[in-house]
Homo-oligomer: A and B are copies of this chain.
Amino acid sequence: MADAEAKERRILVAVDEGEESMYALSWCLKNLICESSKDTLILLYVKPPRVVYTALDGTGYMFSSDIITTMEKYSNDVAGCVIEKAKTLCRDLQNVKVETKVEHGDPRDVICEMTGKLGADMLVMGSHGYGLIKRAFLGSVSNHCAQNASCPVLIVKRPKSTAGSN
C-alpha cells in the first residue's frame, strides 16, 4: 500500500515469563515495526487467575491468607519483571509509542478481549504461550487466540537452533 507508512498500526504483543514471548517481541521489532511509521506497540502481560494457584494445591486444603498474599506479591513481581524486560527490548525505538498493560485472568480470554478493547490491528505472541505450568492447565493460548481474537494473530515459534541459548 502506498500509504502503509502513514498508517498508524496498533500492535499488541502478549508477553509472559517464557523466553519464546521475548523472542516473538524481538522478531516483531526487527521485522514488523518501521521507525518511519506511526506504530503504537502495546505490551500486555496477563497475571494468572487465582484458580491456577488453587489447582496447584493437590491436598484439598485451602491456602491461608498469608500464602495467598505471598503468591499475589510473587505474581506482581513476575509481572513487573516481564514488563521491564519487554520494555528494555524496545528501548531503541524512537518514533514508536510503547504502552504497557497488566491484566488479570485467564490469558486466553483476556488477550482476546484486549485485542478488541485496545483496538489492536495485530496481535503478536509466542506459539507456546504462557509458561509450561499454566499451559498444562489452560491449553494452547495461541491456538485459541488465532481463532477468537478480533484481529489477525502472528504466532512466532522460537527456532530450535536458538532454543537453548538463554
CB distance from A121 to the nearest CB of B (A): 6
Closest B residue to A121 by beta carbon equals B31
* Contact indicator A146/B122 (Cβ below 8 Å): no
A143-163: CB near B (< 8 Å → 1, else 0) gives 100110110111111010000
Give the residue of B2, B4, B9, B155 whose beta carbon is less than 8 angstroms from that of A153: B155
Interface size on A, as a range, is 20 to 34
**Identical subunits present:** 2
A residues within 8 Å of B by Cβ?
Answer: 1-2, 4-5, 7, 9, 24, 27, 29-36, 121-122, 127, 142-143, 146-147, 149-150, 152-157, 159
Nearest first, the 4 closest Cβ-Cβ pairs linking A and B are A152-B156, A146-B155, A154-B154, A4-B34
